[in-house]
Amino acid sequence: DQQVKQNSPSLSVQEGRISILNCDYTNSMFDYFLWYKKYPAEGPTFLISISSIKDKNEDGRFTVFLNKSAKHLSLHIVPSQPGDSAVYFCAAIGGSQGNLIFGKGTKLSVKP
């Protein structure tokens, strides 16, 4: 039973355009959400997070939006750069789930 779902295994965008990565969750008790970025042969690195009391958090080119009623969050990257090409994992924590639950990841390719 997947509590965190990333339904798009891959996404390809042109350099300079916007990348939008989506994530859905089923557990309404989740109260904190994170995005991690992973390059090949490296561990995931923390990118940005959002608390359930907010609906938006911005950090430079990266913005995360949270829609609690839809149990949906998205990561926007503007403008996209070739160096952003990586696998992006959505993760959530909260309620009885005391540990991070990860989605399967979305592989982003940014083409020059």
Partner 1 sequence: EAGVAQSPRYKIIEKRQSVAFWCNPISGHATLYWYQQILGQGPKLLIQFQNNGVVDDSQLPKDRFSAERLKGVDSTLKIQPAKLEDSAVYLCASSMDRGHSPLHFGNGTRLTVT
Closest CA to 99 of 37, 48, 22, 30: 30
Judged by CB under 8 A, the residue of 41, 53, 69, 70 near partner 1 is: 41
Site for partner 1 in 17-36 (CB under 8 A): 32, 34, 36
49 is an interface residue for partner 1 by CB under 8 A: yes
Single-letter amino acid code for the residue at 24: D
Closest CA to 59 of 47, 71, 68, 45: 47
62 is an interface residue for partner 1 by CB under 8 A: no
Q: In whole angstroms, give the CA distance from residue 98 to residue 63.
A: 25
End-to-end CA, the chain: 38
Judged by CB under 8 A, the residue of 71, 72, 76, 104 near partner 1 is: 104
Q: For residue 44, is the peptide bond before it cis, meaning its omega torsion is within 30 degrees of 0?
A: no
Cβ 5 to partner 1 shortest distance, Å: 10
93 is an interface residue for partner 1 by CB under 8 A: yes
Instruction: Please report, as ranges, the residues that interact with partner 1 according to CB under 8 A.
Output: 4, 32, 34, 36, 41-46, 49, 51, 89, 91, 93, 98-100, 102-105
